[in-house]
Amino acid sequence: MIEYLIGVDGGGTGTRARLARADGSPLAQGQGGPSGLSLGIAQAWNSVAEAVASAFGAAGIAPPANAGIAIGLGLAGVHNPQWAEQFIAADPGFGALRLENDGFTTLMGAHGGKPGTIVAIGTGSVGQALLADGSLREVGGWGFPTGDEAGGGWMGLRAIAHIEKVIDGRAPHSAFAQAVIDACGGQRNAIQVWIGGATQTVFASLAPLVLAHADNNDTARTILADAGREVALMAHALDPSGQLPLALCGGLGVPLRAYLPPDLLARSVAPLGDSASGALRMIELHVRGH
């Protein structure tokens, strides 16, 4: 018998779990480490378990056996079917489980299940639309480093490319460049070691420096302007008619609003809920057979 519902939003930076009773009444939220599937199936499940335990702890409830929990998960990396199969195969015995990509759960949360489009921008990026006829459309989400345009990892990669030129004397020095250089080890040898071990999550750790220096540095501002154009391309591909509302979601959604073309900004709306709430709604509907 299902006693609790949990909605999970997991990516390259962290994991959030939203806990509710079986009737859908909300209880608490918990946090865990990164659970993007590209980081490994074992790490993903460990981070999910950490976030679930954190949510029960925040609610002051002793967690039941997993068989009493129905869990809905929106995770980065589900686009890779092999990773998704391996993740489901490692299910530690939940009473019910539904796995989708984090773009779908973000879409579910953003518009309350009604037609609309989202571009989710965090460590990576993806765009999804629920059309008026009930069909789904998706763009982006190809993964780092070839895709995930406008995401934190993409911004960090651009920032690293810039400081390589600065250190070589191919581009002028600046406070922005120095901040990135310091964050990556301070000198060439250390930076090369940093690059050699950097994951998408590590590259994304440089995105706040891009945002912090955008007001007074042309390179940082150009990175964000290019990100805004990438978001516009995704939004247009999702909804060429421009009729559906657009919600920018994820940790970089709000700061990138300032870099959207005016016509796109005019039809953008604040998301009603986040990916964790969308994952919770998804598993609630699944349990009820909708």
**0.85 surpassed by pTM:** no
Which pLDDT score is estimated for 276?
93
- Percent over 70 (pLDDT), the chain: 100
Q: What is the DSSP string of the chain?
A: ---EEEEEEE-SS-EEEEEEETTS-EEEEEEES---GGG-HHHHHHHHHHHHHHHHHHHT-----GGGEEEEEEETTTTSHHHHHHHHHT----SEEEEEEHHHHHHHHHTTTSSEEEEEESSSEEEEEE-TTS-EEEEE---TTTS-TTSHHHHHHHHHHHHHHHHHTSS---HHHHHHHHHTTSSHHHHHHHHHT--HHHHHTTHHHHHHHTTT-HHHHHHHHHHHHHHHHHHHHH-TT--S-EEEESTTHHHHGGGS-HHHHHTEE--SS-HHHHHHHHHHHHHTT-
Average pLDDT, the chain: 94
39: number of CA atoms within 13 Å, CB side? 25
Amino acid at 46: N
pLDDT of residue 290: 63
- Per-residue pLDDT, averaged over 263-279, amounts to 91
Q: How far apart are CA 258 and CA 84, in angstroms?
A: 35
pLDDT of residue 106: 86
pLDDT surpasses 70 at 219:
yes
Is 183 a residue whose pLDDT tops 90? Answer: yes
The arithmetic mean of pLDDT across residues 235-254, rounded, is: 92
Q: What is the average pLDDT across 188-196?
A: 96
pLDDT, tens digit, 9 for 90 and up, residues 55-101: 999 999 999 999 999 999 999 899 899 999 999 999 999 999 999 98
